[in-house]
Amino acid sequence: MVATMSAVEVENLSMSYKAPVRKSGLRAAFGSLVRREYKTVQALDEVSFTIAPGEVAGFIGPNGAGKTTTMKILSGILHPTSGAVQVLDTVPWQRRSAFLKRIAFVRGSQPVGGSQELTVMDSLEYQRLLYDVPRPTFRRTLADLEALLELDPLFERQLRALSLGERMRVGLAMALIYRPEVLFLDEPTIGLDVTAAGQIREFVREYVEQTGATVLLTSHYMADVESLCPRLILIDKGKVQYDGPLAELSARLSPYKLIRISTQGDPSPFGEVVDKADGQWVLRVPRDEVAGTTGRLLQALEVVDLAVEEPPLEKVIDQAYREGLR
């Protein structure tokens, strides 16, 4: 692989493994004890992409698409079947100490590991020792994280007593106390309520702005992707199906835009009505007719407010999963 100015570089990455299979029934169960049969599962199939330093990219796909497998390879937990990977100019699965101190892998399903009897401060102190963080640096970083994540009420509480949202905030603090340059965030808002999810998104945004960290984020919540990721990498069945700006994906998959209009008149002759309530209308209009339609609406009706929007990202992504990319 040629050296580049990329924080993450993935080239023809493939990962396969053997999974045991057997037919149903008691006889087949006993037979599998003597002779097991296996099938090969292709988790990743020649995946390639690069991420520049300071870039925030969304990495999305349906369940089983290969997202978490890719994250584990990039963070050095798994060794791929084939392909080349460089993260900060290092092969991740070599697991060199200097490399591990420059990256963080945070899973929303298990944000906090270790003994659950420890307090939050004890866990942060353990991270300081584990990653050789000088105490003055630790204090400065902890002060920043305390303000961003509202940690002060949690310091003396045991990990086992934290709510899911609190565990996610503490998990982020533990991962970032040593100021990693690259963050792999796997479903960071999974299971959180709207308020807690919004707090996590705001924290990630502010952390990136302050530190210039590189982020690869997976999420099933499109609000995470829309608010944080200018770039989207869509993976399905182990292959990258799309890699580019969010707006271009909508334009590629959806031939229409939405016009949201507030008026006491009837705008239905100007487009397909998809929603209507209390003088608020939403019209679906072909992309190439939006400019002309908005002009005619403003001329024909007394318009209080008008906005042109892309269709909801959830619908665009769902269409990509069901129909593929054209």
Q: Are 131 and 261 found together in one domain? A: no
Q: Check if the beta carbon of residue 161 is closer than 8 Å to that of residue 193.
A: no
Q: Check if the beta carbon of residue 60 is closer than 8 Å to that of residue 233.
A: yes
Residue 119 is assigned to a structural domain of this protein: yes
Q: Check if the beta carbon of residue 282 is closer than 8 Å to that of residue 272.
A: no
pLDDT of res. 262 = 93
Q: Are 245 and 268 found together in one domain? A: no
DSSP codes, 261-318: EEESS--GGGSEEEEEETTEEEEEEEGGGHHHHHHHHHHHS-EEEEEEEPPPHHHHHH
Residue 51 is assigned to a structural domain of this protein: yes
pTM for the full predicted model: 0.79
Bridge partners of 233, per DSSP, are 59, 243
pLDDT of res. 2 = 42
Query: Of 250, 266, 286, which residue constitutes the final position of a domain?
Result: 250
Instruction: State the first-to-last Cα distance of the chain, in angstroms, to the nearest integer.
Output: 31
Residue 52 is assigned to a structural domain of this protein: yes
Residue 287 is assigned to a structural domain of this protein: yes
Residue type, 325: L
Q: How many residues does the chain have?
A: 326
Q: Are 171 and 265 found together in one domain? A: no
Using alpha carbons, list the distances in angstroms from residue 119 to 22, 104, 125, 146.
46, 21, 10, 15
Q: Are 37 and 117 found together in one domain? A: yes
Cα(45)–Cα(117) distance, integer angstroms: 42
Q: Check if the beta carbon of residue 10 is closer than 8 Å to that of residue 40.
A: no
pLDDT of res. 17 = 86
CATH number at residue 143: 3.40.50.300
Residue 82 is assigned to a structural domain of this protein: yes
Residue 77 is assigned to a structural domain of this protein: yes
Q: Are 240 and 260 found together in one domain? A: no
Q: Are 149 and 197 found together in one domain? A: yes
- The total number of structural domains that make up the chain: 2
Q: Are 273 and 129 found together in one domain? A: no
pLDDT of res. 1 = 43
Q: Which alpha helices (H) appear in the chain, and where do they start and end?
A: 26-34, 67-74, 97-100, 120-130, 135-149, 164-176, 194-211, 222-228, 246-253, 290-300, 313-323
Q: Check if the beta carbon of residue 85 is closer than 8 Å to that of residue 92.
A: yes
Cα(136)–Cα(18) distance, integer angstroms: 48
Residue 323 is assigned to a structural domain of this protein: no
Q: Are 113 and 212 found together in one domain? A: yes
pLDDT of res. 28 = 65
Q: Are 41 and 80 found together in one domain? A: yes
pLDDT of res. 325 = 61
pLDDT of res. 3 = 45
Query: Of 200, 227, 250, which residue constitutes the final position of a domain?
Result: 250
Query: Of 208, 232, 250, which residue constitutes the final position of a domain?
Result: 250
Residue 215 is assigned to a structural domain of this protein: yes
Q: Are 216 and 108 found together in one domain? A: yes
Which residues are within 8 A (CB) of 277 and not within 5 positions of it... i.e. 6 or more apart? none
| Tens-digit pLDDT string for the chain (326 aa) | 444 479 999 999 999 988 777 777 777 666 667 777 778 888 999 999 999 999 999 998 888 888 999 999 999 999 999 999 999 999 999 999 999 999 999 888 888 888 889 999 999 999 999 999 999 999 999 998 888 888 899 999 999 999 888 898 899 999 999 999 999 999 888 878 888 888 888 888 888 988 899 999 998 888 888 889 999 999 988 999 889 998 787 777 777 889 999 988 899 999 989 889 888 999 989 888 999 999 999 999 989 999 998 777 777 777 776 766 65
* Residue-number span of the structural domain to which 282 is assigned: 255-309
Q: Are 84 and 210 found together in one domain? A: yes
Q: Are 219 and 105 found together in one domain? A: yes
